[in-house]
Amino acid sequence: MKKIFVINPGCTSTKVAVYEDEHAVWTSDGLHPQEEVDKYATEMEQYEYRKNFILKLLEEAGIPLEFDAVIGRGGLLKPLHGGVYAINEQMKQDLINAKHKHVCNLGSILADDIAQMCHCPAYMADPVVVDEFMTRARYTGLPFMKRESIFHALNAKAASRRYARSIGRKYEEMNLVVAHLGGGICVSAHHEGKVIDVNNALNGEGPIAPERAGTLPADQLVRLCFSGKHTQAEIMKMLAGNGGCQALLGMKDMKEISRRAEAGEEPFHEVLEAMLYTVSKQIGAMAVALWGKADAIILTGGIAYSKYCVEEIKKQVDFLAPVIVMPGEGEMESLAFNALGALNGELPVHEYR
C-alpha cells in the first residue's frame, strides 16, 4: 500500500489530502480567511504561511510525516506536455521567477519541502501550462503577441476522462467542450485527447469570472494603463484577483452571489446573468473550434454545484450538445492517481529541463 500526500494551493484555499493507494483517507478543504491571504502582495510571499498552515493541519489531524510520495499542483512554468514530472531545482527556480503570478506556483515548491521532510519523491502533474494548441489558435493580430495555453488542465482532463469512462468510450476518441467554473474560469476544446484551444484563464481572456475580468476592450485597457493612475501591479490585479464579480459586486463568494441573484436581488441578478452569458458565449466558441461536432459539454468546478447557474448556462447552450454536470474538481484524486501511477511504474516520470 502506498501513502500519498496531495497539495493543491488555490487563491482561497490550500486543499490537502492523504491517499492510501487510490482511496482518500483524509482530506481538508484548507480554506484561508480572505484577510489572511490579502496581507501578501505576491504568491511567493505566502510560502511560509502556507507551509506552516499545511504542517499545522497535519499535526492537528495526528498524521505523521511518513509518505511514499508527495504531489503538488503544478504552476506557471514554460509550456509543457501533460503527464507526471519529478520536481527538481530547475523547476523550483523557474516557479520562483515565473512571469505569471498565481499561488499554484507554490504547489511544487511546497510538495518538494514536505517530501524532503519525509525522504520520499516529489511530483507534479498536468500543470496549468499544458499546451496542446493547434497552430491557428496561437495567433493574435500582432506578430509579436502569441496566445498562451494557461488553464485548469488537471481538472479539465480528469473530468473529460471520467466522463468518457462513464459512457464506455475513450477520451482520446472524443470531442468535448469543458467549462471549469471556479474562482477563475476556462472553457477548453478537447479534440481526441488534446486541448486544441482554451481561453487563458488567468490573464485578460475569456468569460467574466468570480475574481477575474476576462476579455476587456483593448482600447480602454490601453488608456487605463497610460492614465498614470495605476501601477502595472495594480492593473494586473484588476485582471486576476480583484476583477470580475469581486470588482462588480465587491465579493466573489459564488454561493452567496447565486443565492441573492436567484432571489432577484440587484445588482447580483444582472451581474450573474452577464457572467453566465460570457461563459455561454465561450462554450459556443469552443464548440466551433471542434467544427460543431462536440460529443458533450461538461460543466465542472465549484460553481457547477449551483443549479441556478447550471440552468442559466444550459438554456443558452444545450442546442450545441448534451450538457453534463460534474460539480467540484477532481484535482486531488487526479494528482493522487498520477503519483500512484508514477510510484508503481505505470506512468512515465518526465524530467523538467
Ligand X SMILES: Nc1ncnc2c1ncn2[C@@H]1O[C@H](COP(=O)(O)OP(=O)(O)O)[C@@H](O)[C@H]1O
Positions touching ligand LANB7ZPL (CB under 6 A) are 10-11, 102, 104, 128, 150-152, 182-184, 201-202
Output the smallest distance, CB 180 to ligand LANB7ZPL, in A. 8
Pick the piece of the chain touching ligand X (CB under 6 A) from 96-104, 138-146, 252-260, 264-272. Answer: 252-260
Please report whether residue 287 would count as binding ligand X according to CB under 6 A.
no
Q: Are 343 and 2 in contact (CB under 8 A)?
A: yes
Output the smallest distance, CB 1 to ligand LANB7ZPL, in A. 30
Quick one: which of 83, 202, 184 has its CA closest to 132?
83
Please report whether residue 160 would count as binding ligand X according to CB under 6 A.
no
Tell me whether residue 184 or residue 214 sits nearer to ligand X (CB atom): 184
Binds ligand X (CB under 6 A): choice among 302, 312, 324, 333: 302
Please report whether residue 258 would count as binding ligand X according to CB under 6 A.
yes
Please report whether residue 241 would count as binding ligand X according to CB under 6 A.
no
Determine the Cα angle at 182 with ends 23 and 338, to 5°. 30
Please report whether residue 21 would count as binding ligand X according to CB under 6 A.
no
Q: How many CA atoms lie within 13 A of 105 on its CB side?
A: 22
Please report whether residue 203 would count as binding ligand X according to CB under 6 A.
no
> What secondary structure does DSSP assign to 41-60, as a single string?
SSSGGGHHHHHHHHHHHHHH
Pick the piece of the chain touching ligand X (CB under 6 A) from 52-60, 76-84, 178-186, 281-289. Answer: 178-186
Q: Are 123 and 338 in contact (CB under 8 A)?
A: yes
Determine the Cα angle at 91 with ends 339 and 37, to 5°. 85
Measured between alpha carbons, how far is residue 43 from residues 101, 107, 153, 233, 333 in Å? 7, 11, 20, 13, 24
Pick the piece of the chain touching ligand X (CB under 6 A) from 66-74, 248-256, 277-285, 342-350. Answer: 248-256
C-alpha cell at 302: 465549484
Please report whether residue 253 would count as binding ligand X according to CB under 6 A.
yes
Binds ligand X (CB under 6 A): choice among 54, 154, 254, 342: 254
Q: How many CA atoms lie within 13 A of 47 on its CB side?
A: 14
Tell me whether residue 54 or residue 150 sits nearer to ligand LANB7ZPL (CB atom): 150
Pick the piece of the chain touching ligand X (CB under 6 A) from 89-97, 250-258, 284-292, 340-348. Answer: 250-258
Number of shown-chain residues binding ligand X (CB under 6 A): 18
Output the smallest distance, CB 271 to ligand X, in A. 14
Per DSSP, which regions of the chain are E strands?
Answer: 3-9, 14-20, 23-28, 69-73, 84-86, 122-125, 175-181, 185-191, 194-198, 296-301, 323-327, 349-351
3-state secondary structure of 97: coil
Pick the piece of the chain touching ligand X (CB under 6 A) from 50-58, 135-143, 251-259, 279-287. Answer: 251-259
Tell me whether residue 12 or residue 160 sits nearer to ligand X (CB atom): 12
Task: For 58, list phi and psi in degrees, rounded to 5.
Answer: -65, -40
151 binds, options ligand X, ligand LANB7ZPL, none, Cβ within 5 to 8 A by partner type: ligand LANB7ZPL
Whole-angstrom Cα distance, residue 179 to residue 174? 16
Tell me whether residue 118 or residue 216 sits nearer to ligand LANB7ZPL (CB atom): 216
Whole-angstrom Cα distance, residue 105 to residue 92? 9
Helix axes 105-117, 47-60, angle to 10 degrees: 50
Tell me whether residue 32 or residue 102 sits nearer to ligand LANB7ZPL (CB atom): 102
Measured between alpha carbons, how far is residue 46 from residues 130, 224, 226 in Å? 25, 29, 30
Tell me whether residue 303 or residue 313 sits nearer to ligand X (CB atom): 303
Contact footprint for ligand X (CB under 6 A): 10-12, 182-184, 210, 252-255, 258, 301-303, 305-306, 329
